Amino acid sequence: KIKERMRMIIVNEQEKVFHLNNGRISYLFYVMESGQLGHLYFGKALTQKGSYLHMVEKAHRPMTTYITEGDLYTSYEHLRQEYPCYGTSDYRYPAMEIQGGDGSRICKLEYQRYRIINGKKPLPGLPATYVEDESEASTVEIVMRDSKYALEVVFSYSIFRDFDAIARSVQLVNHGKEALLVNRAMSMSIDFPDAAFQSVQLSGAWARERYVHVRDLQPGITAVSSMRGNSSHQHNPFLALKRKNTTEQSGEAYGFSLIYSGNFLAQAEVDNYQVLRVMLGINPFGFQWKLDAAANFTTPEAVMVYSNAGLNGMSQQFHRLYRNRLVRGYWRDRERPVLINNWEATQFDYVEEDLIRFAAKAKECDIELFVLDDGWFGARNDDKCGLGDWKANTQKLPNGIEGLSKRIEALGMKFGLWFEPEMVNKDSDFFRMHPDYIIATPERSVSHGRNQFVLDFSRREVVDAIYEQMYALLSKAKISYIKWDMNRSISECYSKAYHSDQQGEIFHRYILGVYDLHERLIQAFPSLLIESCASGGGRFDAGMLYYAPQGWVSDDSDAIERLKIQYGTSLVYPLSCMGAHVSACPNEQVGRQTPLETRGNVAFTGAFGYELDLNKLSVNEIETVKKQVAFYKENRNFIAKSDFYRLCSPFETNFAAWEAVAPDGKRALVTVTRILSEINGPYRRLPLCGLLPEQQYHIKSQYLSYNAYGDELMQYGMILEDKSSGQIIDGSGGCQDFRSVLYEITAVQGC
């Protein structure tokens, strides 16, 4: 076992070349003659051999600054590096910038030593991937030093046995006698030898989060970022690179994901010689960390994935890693309950008996969890008051949350509750008691969003005050689930608790406070299921998955809008973490009328639930709901642990199609949704993925049943419904918009 573990990291001691290799991927870097770290290779696994230094490319270039007098070949500007610093012959954007007491921003890191660790260490106060056994990963720590500042920088690289991923983080330790200013400290940087890639990003806005955007890289900067204090609806902390001929099913793809929930920067820089530098980490804008003597600072973890099986291959590596070794605790491997949330049905307007009738109808449909959303606390009848007062509104709930939760449990259901712990209304007892607890800049006006203000979670006493309220409620009532909302970004970022030379730390300290509150609640209530929600998708990131195993993907619950949102989200995030619900018709956000079957089919590929009043549905609709709930319960474990394939993009066609396949290839569910109706359309077949070529399968939908072998289904394709004109049709033979069909594909035993 020790030999196997050590074999994942091979070190050429003489040439100081480090080779991370799990048999499927390789990552190589080396120590330059100058002492800096240089990059050699990241991609498909290479055979271990004596030397790789011939990969280092040097050339004399005009208008170049060289490191050593007399050497006209060695310049950091034209050497591929692992973690570049600015100002010592490299004029591209750096991964790190340190400011000394003399005002200098020049830093020179020199190699000191390394050590190999079996397994993987946690990051203090930060979410990160983990292992449960030392044999699952190997980690190499490279210690570098800037002698002038007595600054030690420790680079951590972990390679996983079972996942084609490299996890990276950086720790800075000040061994000097004076404070240093950290102006930039990215989590990872890598220089590719060419720039023949397209970048893939997930960008959008509220209610249309994580749309897929692809563009060719050109000389200069391609970047996505957030400066809002949260990872944001606008951009996700993720960037992918793909070759121009790469598809969902084939070709090279690289993915870069940051396990962090605050301000971030994901940047690709192409230089004038077509060398590509990719960096990912905390956004340097608005960031500065005062690193006192004997203090240390750790960056968030970045995960790098390589696939030569297309974008689907890249996504599946992220899914498997995050599902099994980022999500943790009680709910990681358990089936998630089918829930119903009252918000879209009632909003603020309800009393306890309304909720009991609402929940009783849900119980009739075998729904397992009732979630009470906004409006249950303080004087909360609209969004202008009450936030911060986490005690029941007894005019609505005369028996309090404790009494309501007992009544819900008496129905045979679990009870869940909405919180927005990071926010406060000025019209609240909490604010009147602690007006200095909000983030605000002295002698400046304070912006609001949704009539609320951001509590200063960079301060321990503020987090303590909210924790105490939540603990008091959770310890008395029967609460199995929390929906953790966050409905505005941070503006006027300033904390009264910190000195003027530490104000650049507040955005990051705030997120550390959010993580701390999550951790304390998890430790106190280990079986509590937390769903992360930030006006829907405003903080849907890998960092939150460490604390909340599922997240509300978007406030837009319309099934047709969700095709794009869930399709894009699946580039990085597993199905088990994607909250996907059936909502009312017409839809609240877009007014669209969509068949109940379509709403269910789209929501099945996620953590399933409902956002409507079941008492308003017809008898036939209730029967459909019961069938949907039964189908999901029967299949939820399979769906959550399946290999997911995107088959047809709603960004490019009138169809969306995806497939969930059992890891052994013997079972699959395929969802096909036609967005708009067609007339006299063509015949259509859909090539599938992940099946066993020589296995016979039975293909079944509401309107179709036949047998075919796996090779036929993957090469020729699965025949789609076609009774008159090559279109998906309903049972009556008529066409309609927004039609979805679910295909069950099962291996025929003995064939």
Q: Which residues are catalytic?
A: 485, 555
In single-letter form, the type of residue at position 83 comes to Y
Q: Which two tokens stand for residue 407?
A: 């009544």
Tokens 């030898």 identify what position? 193
Locate 716 and state its tokens.
């020729």
| Cα–Cα distance measured from residue 169 to residue 441, given in angstroms and rounded to the nearest whole number | 32
Please list, in sequence order, all residues whose beta carbon lies within 8 angstroms of the beta carbon of residue 738, skipping any fewer than 6 positions away. 559, 560, 592, 594, 595, 598, 673, 674, 675, 676
Query: Among positive and negative, which fits the CA dihedral 597, 602, 606, 610?
Result: negative
Beta strands 739-747 and 696-700, pairing class? antiparallel
- 339-341 and 607-611 strand pairing: parallel
The β-bridge relationship of strands 550-552 and 529-532 is: parallel
Q: Angle CA(280)–CA(286)–CA(290) in degrees, nearest 5?
A: 90
Residues contacting 479, CB < 8 A, separation 6+: 401, 405, 415, 416, 417, 473, 528
- Rounded CA separation 449/283 (Å): 23
- How far CA 528 is from CA of 415, 453, 552, in Å, comes to 11, 27, 17
Q: From CA 333, how far away is CA 330, in angstroms rounded?
A: 7
631 C-beta neighbours (distance < 10 Å), count: 17
Residues 679, 685, 707: CA angle, nearest 5 degrees = 125
SS (H, E, C) 425-455: CCECHHHHHCHHHECCCCCCCCCCECCEEEE
* Residue-by-residue DSSP string for 586-599: S-TTT-----HHHH
**How far, in Å, CA of 86 to CA of 107, rounded?**
8
Residue among 209, 324, 323, 261 nearest 484 (CA):
261
CA distance 518 to 470: 11
Task: Convert 284-319 to b/e letters by CB count within 10 Å (16 or more is b).
Answer: bebbbbbbeeeeebbbbbbbbbbbbbbbbbbbbbbb
β-sheet bridge partners, residue 609: 339, 581
Report d(CA 310, CA 711) in Å as an integer.
19
Q: For residue 473, how many C-alpha atoms fall within 13 Å in the half-sphere facing its CB?
A: 26
**Would you give the distance in Å from CA 731 to the centre of its chain?**
39
Query: Which tokens is 428 given?
Result: 């609240």
CA distance 515 to 498: 19
Radius of gyration (Cα) for the chain, nearest Å?
27
Contact (CB, 8 A) for 335 and 366: no
- Residue 700 and residue 708 in contact, taking contact as beta carbons nearer than 8 Å: no
Q: For residue 744, count CB atoms less than 10 angstroms from its CB and return exposed for 0-12, middle for 13-18, buried for 19 or more.
A: middle
DSSP H helical ranges for 456-570: 460-476, 506-524, 542-545, 559-569
Question: Got the DSSP string for 623-674?
Answer: HHHHHHHHHHHHHHHHHHTSEEEEEE-TTTSSEEEEEEE-TTSSEEEEEEEE
**DSSP count for the chain of H helices, then E strands:** 13, 38
